[in-house]
Structure formats: structure tokens, C-alpha cells
Amino acid sequence: MIGIIIVILFFVFATGKFEKHEVAKSSYALGTLINLRASGNKAQVAIDKSLERLNEIDDRMSAFKESSDVSKINLNAGSKEEKINSDTYFVVKKAIEYSKALEGTFDPTISPLVKLWSIGTKEEKVPEKSQIEKTLKLVNYNDVIFDEKNNSIMLKHNNQALDVGGIAKGFAADEVRDIFHQYDVKSALIDLGGNIFALGSKEDGSSWKIGIQNPFKSRGEFIGILSVKDKSIVTSGNYERYFIKDGKRFHHIIDPKTGYPSESKIISATIISDNSIDGDGLSTGVYIIGIDKSMKIIETIEGIDAIFITEDKKIYKTLGIDESIFTLTDSEFFEEL
């Protein structure tokens, strides 16, 4: 989310030949690698239409394209409201809803802080405390002003900036799912840079198998396997983008309240939901807010479940995750009852 989440999920495929109408295609959009795989007579056109839609969303919501809605909002921060496309308006509105629900641990105005740290780029650094304190004043989701009548958004102060990169991927995954439905695709895997949507079931009617990355090991090492149908899976973890300075590790998930990388004991948060935008909206915030509050928040939201991994290798699951959905495969980890 907010351009700072790295989601590490891997498909676990059964061996066997592809069904004759299955189509797979890779592309690049929303700042990430896109992998779409679908089965059906109209799978090819469904994928082509989906890629067109993804590029359209990217053009509207990218913080790096000058002509995008988000860039125009940022350019006019503190001066005037910007009339934007209904897609962008919906995504920003949804982001603020989750900011409120998560007590500000998810905040789409965190962009100036992320830029200050620049983790994952050649400019990454530990900023001076005074720089962080100054920049923190620009981070406040309550400063996003909506004009429902005119479909306009404004940031209250100069130098504030939105970044909806993470939650936009969730919105985009849901849009691809809807396009697949329109073209009668009943079995598909949608991967937007790790934002996974498992549409329907596999061709043989069985559940899709998706591995959850072991946060202590190299890519492709799982702690367990999810078995899902018609579900989105989004994971936030601190193990992919980080740097070490003077012996201390600084990861990319910045706490909007402190201005520093989150010190929550959670090191991986996986959200399983019906809609991918919800998984995006929740995964970073629950990561930061801590295990006790996270469990309580997720348990109150219908149709959404979560699996958390803490630094002491404990696995916490919400009540909707039973043995038929999640299988722990790494004996170094143990499930907290």
C-alpha cells in the first residue's frame, strides 16, 4: 500500500498439462510485473481488455506520471481542489476509510516520509530526527478534503502528497476479476506484483494453492500453504526492502505516527478477503498497529481473515482460518492458540 508495501506470495502449481483454452500473459503496469492466467473460450480477449484497464488505472493513479489525477492533486496541494476521475476518487475515499478504521497506521498522505527515507532506492538513508519531525507535520489523512458534488479532492497544506500505489493495486485486481467475469472466465489467477486474486477454482475443481513466504528465508521458501477459491491474498512484510546502517536494519514499512520503520512485533501480515482493495487497505495498517489490535479489528470485519507471523515465529490466525484453508508446513513456526 501507499507505494511502500512489498508483497511476497508464490503460486504452488500442480503438475499437468494446461487446458486448451488457457491463456497466460505478462506485462508491466502500476509499477510492477503483471501476470494474468485465465481459462475459457474468451480468455484471450479477457486478458487483453484487463491489460488495457490496468494501463488506464496506472495513468490515473500513478504518483510518477505528471498527467495523473494523483500528481495533479499533489501539485495543487494547499492551493486548490482538483476535479478527478471517479476511479481515483473512489480509491482515495476508500483509503481514508481504512485510515480511520486503523487509527492512522494506514495513511495515503505518507508520501513525503517515504520519499525522505527513499528505502529501496540509491538515495536510501536514515534522515535526521529534525527532518523526520518536520516531515511528520505533512502526514495527516484528515487533511484530504473531498468535494462529493464536483468529484474533487484537495490536500489542505502545501507540500503534502498522496500516494495510492498500494491500494490502487487492490482496486485494479478487483477490476480485472470483474472483466474476467464479463467474459465468462471461471478459472484464473491474477497476480499484480504479488497482489493475488484466485478466481474460481482450478480446472479440476480443486482449490488454488498459494504459499506464504517465510520472512526469514530466501524467496520461494514457504511457512505454509493457503487453499482458496474466489479470494484475494495480500501480504505485507518487512523482509524484502530494507537497508542496514551502523548494524541496524531499517525496513520500508514506515509508521505514519513516528516517522520511523514500524517496530511492531509482526513481520508478516496476510489478508484473505473477497475484494483485493480490502486486503491492500488493511495489510500495512494491521502490520503496524500490532497483533492484539489487529486481531480484534479483523475479527469485526465480515468476510475478511488474516494470518500474522511475529518475530518469535508464532503464527496467529483469525477464527475463519481453519485447517481446510491453511496448512503450516515449516516446523520452525508454531500456531498460537
Give pLDDT tens digits for 303-335.
Answer: 999 999 999 999 999 999 999 999 999 999 999
* 176 and 151 co-located in one domain: no
* 190 and 278 co-located in one domain: yes
Q: What is the pLDDT of residues 48-105, one digit of tens each?
A: 999 999 999 999 999 999 999 999 999 999 999 999 999 999 999 999 999 999 999 9
Q: Is the model more confident about 147 or about 31? A: 147
Query: Which residue is listed with cell 480511520?
Result: 100
* 84 and 134 co-located in one domain: yes
Q: What does the block give as the cell for 90? A: 473512489
What are the C-alpha distances in Å from 175 to residues 47, 49, 169, 255, 294? 12, 11, 10, 29, 27
% residues pLDDT > 90 (the chain):
82
* 42 and 174 co-located in one domain: yes
CA-closest candidate to residue 169, choices 127, 197, 189, 142: 197
The answer to whether 221 touches 77, Cβ cutoff 8 Å, is no
* 198 and 156 co-located in one domain: no
2 domain-assigned: no
* 308 and 244 co-located in one domain: yes
* 37 and 138 co-located in one domain: no
**pLDDT in the model for residue 20:** 52
* 68 and 55 co-located in one domain: no
- Statement: residue 9 has pLDDT above 80: no
Q: Give the CATH number for residue 142.
A: 1.10.3980.10
Question: How confident is the model over 243-253, as a mean pLDDT?
Answer: 88
**pLDDT in the model for residue 104:** 94
Integer Cα distance of 67 and 151 in angstroms: 17
- Statement: residue 2 has pLDDT above 50: no
* 264 and 189 co-located in one domain: yes
Q: Average pLDDT over the chain, rounded to whole?
A: 91
**pLDDT in the model for residue 21:** 76
Question: How confident is the model over 108-132, as a mean pLDDT?
Answer: 94
Overall domain count for the chain: 2
The answer to whether 254 touches 114, Cβ cutoff 8 Å, is yes
Last residue of a domain, one of 133, 165, 197: 165
Distant-in-sequence, close-in-space partners of 245: CB < 8 Å, separation ≥ 6: 125, 126
% residues pLDDT > 70 (the chain):
94
**pLDDT in the model for residue 238:** 82
Instruction: Let me know how long the chain is.
Output: 337
- Statement: residue 249 has pLDDT above 80: yes
The answer to whether 262 touches 237, Cβ cutoff 8 Å, is no
137 domain-assigned: yes
Question: How confident is the model over 128-138, as a mean pLDDT?
Answer: 97
- Statement: residue 15 has pLDDT above 80: no
* 41 and 67 co-located in one domain: no
* Domain encompassing residue 177: 9-59+168-335
Would you tell me the crossing angle of helices 86-101 and 43-61 to the nearest 10 degrees? 70
CA-closest candidate to residue 236, choices 190, 177, 281: 281
Question: How confident is the model over 293-300, as a mean pLDDT?
Answer: 94
4 domain-assigned: no
The answer to whether 300 touches 312, Cβ cutoff 8 Å, is no
- In this predicted structure, which of 126-130, 177-181, 218-222, 251-255 has the lowest mean pLDDT? 218-222
* 175 and 112 co-located in one domain: no
* 136 and 248 co-located in one domain: no
